[in-house]
Structure 1
Amino acid sequence: MLRNPLPSSGRGRAAGFTATAALLLAGCATQQPGTEFNDPYETQNRAVHETNLALDRAVFGGGKPDRKPFLPAPVAEGVANFSDNLGMPAAVLNSLLQGRPDPAVKNAARFVMNTTVGLGGLLDPATAVGLHAEDTDFGETLHVWGAPEGAFLVLPIAGPTTERDLVGKVVDFVIDPMNGAFPEPERYYVAAAKLGGKVADRQRYGDVIDDILYQSADSYAQMRLMYLQNRHYELGIEAEVFDPYEDPYGQ
């Protein structure tokens, strides 16, 4: 049985990290007038991007026409489903922090159904009955609270983000109810499953990822454009934009 999603110690840590997040965001780089993207660290970002590309080619065979799947398709689907299900409690918490009870209730129902009927989340019966995920994170929570986006960043391995979303990732890790739901060593298995979901997604959406990273004249500029447009779409800033997740074979 899962523990209390956010015990008293977790609430204290959440409050502390929320305050820290506010202080960090106060120093976010501001966009200069007349610039299309807030990317003051472009030189450093491009260097990290090139390193990430080299790692992607070495580990996943990115950009190679004869690239072979490293997981059978059903296994990749199951791993991705399991990882997504583990993220539902954090999405519920963030929806509540955003003052949005409806997505919180829907995600809670998804988690219960997929955890029970869906064999721990390996299957996704919730989607089959119309309970689609309402994904969110603490980066969106900060956006709802009025925090500025800050500068565009590229992280080693993790890839594109923004200053606001980077703070959000740190806070998400700390306040994620699943981190306190299991003792050691089970919590490490949960972390490994979440990482496995990212690996499975690289395979599932590999064709479009390769198009963006290896078929563009400037893969960095294309990646930056796609990330920011899609993120703004998720946050409701842009009403219409290409959403790579609509294509089951591309990101």
Structure 2
Amino acid sequence: MRVFQTRFLPLIAVLSLGVLVGCTAAPQGGGINDPYEEVNRSWHETNVALDRSVIKPVSTAYGTVVPDPLRKGLSNVSDTLGIPGTVVNDVLQLRLGDALHNTARFAVNATVGIGGLFDPATGMGLEERDSDFGETLYTWGVGEGAYVVLPVYGPSTERDAFGLIVDIALDPVGNLLGNPEASYKTGLKVADLADTRYRYSDLYESLMYDSADSYTQMRLTYLDNRRYELGTPIVAGEEGADQAATYDIYEDFYE
């Protein structure tokens, strides 16, 4: 994890400047702010090529070889290890009820759930209540900023990109674990992402490979979903906008 943070120090500096200086509120009526479209399209094409050559084959092999119950269990462990970071953001947002809820969820799954391998907490009414530092920045009044495409990670905004870096840097579990335990946590997260890519391969590939303009479609998908989560205006003037305002049409894809 520390190696990962060090490699991304230049990106941290750039994104920090972008968030602190350049972030503005989303355009009125939920428009699109994409001043870096040329660079973004280049990174999008690179990510598509990487998905075709590496990510898709790896996720397909993982989903085919590893039994579904084991994949689900590993994803549960990864999710459980991420809960302390969510609690930190709950506190920063002054959502103390959610902080207590997520703390209880972590305690139950880490003990009764055998280190998070199982998820008894959901059956006890302690469902997942996710959050991140991008949402914390939103709560503090930081604007969405421009749309950006990150290497490997994909669609984001200046605010959420900076939030992603902070979440990685301040991860309580990652910072407490030494080596090689920290690398195990990273490995679990990679396995979780591979499982998600495998489970939703048809939907993902219909967006990435089959769209007439996959860049525009992914941008719309991300912004609509993120703004829905935060309760801000979705992209105006697009087909399906009214339905998306009351129902998260991309919930399965991003969960």
Asked if Structure 1 and Structure 2 have the same fold, meaning a TM-score greater than 0.5 normalized by the shorter chain, the answer is: yes
Q: 2:118 aligns with which of 118, 123, 126?
A: 123
TM-score by length of 1: 0.81
**Gap change, CA 1:129 and 1:89, over 3 Å in 2:** same
Q: Structure 1: which 4+ aligned runs deviate by more than 4 Å?
A: 20-24, 29-35
Instruction: Identify, as 1 or 2, the structure richer in helix.
Output: 2
Contact 2:16–2:162 (8 Å) recurs in 1: no
Q: Does 1:244 align with 2:239?
A: no
Q: Is the 8 A contact 1:149 1:164 kept in 2?
A: yes
SS of 1:121 mapped into structure 2: coil
Contact 1:76/1:204 (8 A) holds in 2? no
Contact 1:79/1:197, CA 8 A, preserved across alignment = yes
Residues 1-251 of structure 1 mapped to structure 2, 5 A cutoff: 24-28=18-22, 30=24, 36-61=31-56, 69=64, 71-238=66-233, 239-245=245-251, 247=252, 250-251=253-254
Deviation, structure 1 residue 188: 1.7
- Residue 215 of structure 1: how far off its partner (Å): 2.3
Instruction: Give the 3 Å change call, closer, same or farther, for CA 34–107 of structure 1 in structure 2.
Output: closer
Structure 1 distance, partners of 2:208, 2:66, is 21
Q: Which moved more, 1:137-146 or 1:24-33?
A: 24-33
Could you list the per-position Cα deviations for residues 79-113 of structure 1 after superposition, in whole angstroms to 9, with x for gaps in the alignment?
A: 22111111100000100000101111111111111
Residues 241/220 of structure 1: CA separation in 2 closer, same or farther (3 Å cut): farther
The one-letter code matched in structure 2 to 1:50 is E
SS in 1 for 2:115: helix
Note the residue ranges of structure 1 that are not aligned, 5 or more in a row. 1-19, 63-67
Of the structure 1 ranges 100-109 and 181-190, higher mean CA displacement relative to structure 2 is found in 181-190
Measured in 2, the distance between the counterparts of 1:192 and 1:135 equals 21
Q: Which runs of 5+ in 2 are unaligned?
A: 1-13, 58-62, 234-244
Aligned to 1:131, the other structure's residue is in SS state coil
Contact 1:71 1:200 (C-alpha < 8 Å) held by counterparts: no
- CA displacement, residues 134-191 of structure 1 (integer Å, 9 cap, x when unaligned): 1000110000000111111111111111101111111111211112222222112112
Does the 8 Å contact 2:89/2:133 carry over to 1?
yes
Asked if the contact 1:86–1:194 (Cα under 8 Å) also holds between the matched residues in 2, the reply is no
Q: What amino acid does structure 2 have at the position aligned with 1:57?
A: R
Partners of 2:198 and 2:125 in 1: CA distance: 26
Tell me the TM-score normalized by structure 2.
Answer: 0.80
Change (3 A) 1:130 1:207: farther
Separation of aligned partners in 1, 2:15 and 2:103 = 26
Identity of aligned residues (%): 47
